Amino acid sequence: MTTISDTPRSYLRQVPVGRLPPPTTQAGLFGWLRSNLFSTPGNIALTIICILFIAWAVPPLLRFFLIDAVWTGTDRQACLASATNPQPGACWAFVRMWISYFVYAFYPIDQRWRVDTFFLALSFGAGWLLWPSAPRRDLGAVYFFVVLPIISFVLLSGFPAIGLAAVPTSLWGGVLVTIVVATVGMVVSLPLGIALALSRRSHIPVVRLLSVTFIEFVRGVPLITVLFMASVMLPLFVPERFSPDKLVRALIGVALFASAYMAEVVRGGLAAIPRGQYEAARALGLGYGRMMALVVLPQALRVTLPNIVNTFIGLFKDTTLVFIVGIFDFLGTVEAARGDPKWASPFTSVTGYVFAGLFYFICCYGMSRYARSVEAHLSRAGRS
């Protein structure tokens, strides 16, 4: 602007150009609205259509689920149309009445404190492990992977020697079973999946063949089939008294199934690690185990974190399939409760399913958000 010298072919800057703020059309609320909602005619049309859709869909939903909804009551009468409530909405009274069944199912009422204690112990361990700046996370891992499973088993199944009455797994159900199946599935599938992925890349042909066979077989079969095989076929081959408990069989089925998927996810992460990382580790004298544990896997798992969480979310929802082999998970309890004639009303089923949907959504969305925050944390630290 000011510094072009007289000779046209050469140039020497005399005054440095300071930083200027961006033009107002790009900054602030107006800038945002303009560039995101009203930038082109097509964009404007889309914005208007979306606003109309929201205006059409949201108010009736709010009215049905919140404003007209029935919150209190002791039986179906509350949720039927009456003089005081000519157009009743969702029947939340039904959910309130059945909620303890949804959580504990047939777990003996006087023993339910044991389930609560298990939930507390689990949340404590999960919080310890998942909160990135928690103190002594190594101890947290020991607690979560060693102490917690023992406590949980003793608490939930019972241990008559110390005064905890045995509770057979046929009485377990509801959220308890969903959480147990999902947690065991996740905790087992990650290490097992890593082991399978490493075996699949092994230089030893037999190891590789076994791993590939297992992964491809499990991935080629629906989870329902695996569950049926675990619950129906296993007892045919194993004598009755060695045959494990029904819930344990389902747990094994779910865990093995998830492991095969996890193996493929981890394999993708391993493939993303450049050869130079292996070479640098080996040149420093690290053996295979330490190279993998200290250099390769930490990076591979970080790369695959979104996919790992994606698999976990899928697994969490797949736990509903244990209903097929006669285990009452959370969705199973909702399914059973909505058939209760005492609560038969036009909207009982809808309310039950929406409640179940909310539960699964909150759990899965929570996992997804957590993964995003960890990713953001890692990229802020500049570890990419």
Nearer to another protein, 84 or 384 (CB): 384
Three-state SS sequence of 30-86: HHHHHHHCCCCHHHHHHHHHHHHHHHHHHHHHHHHHHHCCECCCCCHHHHCCCCCCC
Q: Does 277 bind another protein (CB under 8 A)?
A: yes
Q: Does 272 bind another protein (CB under 8 A)?
A: no
Which one of residues 272, 284, 358, 376 is an interface residue with another protein (CB under 8 A)? Answer: 284
Provide the angle, in degrees to the nearest 10, between the axes of the packed helices 174-200 and 246-271. Answer: 40
Task: Report the nearest approach of another protein to the CB of residue 129 (Å).
Answer: 18
Which one of residues 299, 307, 310, 368 is an interface residue with another protein (CB under 8 A)? Answer: 299
Region of 251-259, 291-299, 337-345, 364-372 interacting with another protein (CB under 8 A): 291-299
Q: Does 137 bind another protein (CB under 8 A)?
A: no
Nearer to another protein, 271 or 280 (CB): 280
Which one of residues 77, 81, 279, 370 is an interface residue with another protein (CB under 8 A)? Answer: 279
Using CB under 8 A as the binding criterion, the count of chain residues that bind another protein stands at: 22
Region of 3-11, 48-56, 162-170, 296-304 interacting with another protein (CB under 8 A): 296-304
Q: Tokens at residue 153, please? A: 């088993």
Q: Does 369 bind another protein (CB under 8 A)?
A: no
CA distances from 77 to 72, 84, 219, 261, 334 (A): 11, 12, 49, 48, 20
Nearer to another protein, 122 or 303 (CB): 303
Going by C-alpha positions, the residue among 296, 237, 286 that lies closest to residue 266 is: 296
Nearer to another protein, 336 or 371 (CB): 371
CA distances from 115 to 126, 250, 255, 364 (A): 16, 20, 22, 22
Which one of residues 96, 201, 219, 290 is an interface residue with another protein (CB under 8 A)? Answer: 290
Q: Tokens at residue 362, please? A: 């909150």
Q: Does 283 bind another protein (CB under 8 A)?
A: yes
CA distance 157 to 145: 18
Handedness of CA 68, 72, 77, 83 (dihedral sign): negative
Q: Does 271 bind another protein (CB under 8 A)?
A: no
Q: Which residue has the tokens 């491809």?
A: 216
User: 3-class SS at 91?
Assistant: strand
CA distance 303 to 267: 11
Interacting residues with another protein between 204 and 243 (CB under 8 A): none
Region of 54-62, 85-93, 224-232, 275-283 interacting with another protein (CB under 8 A): 275-283
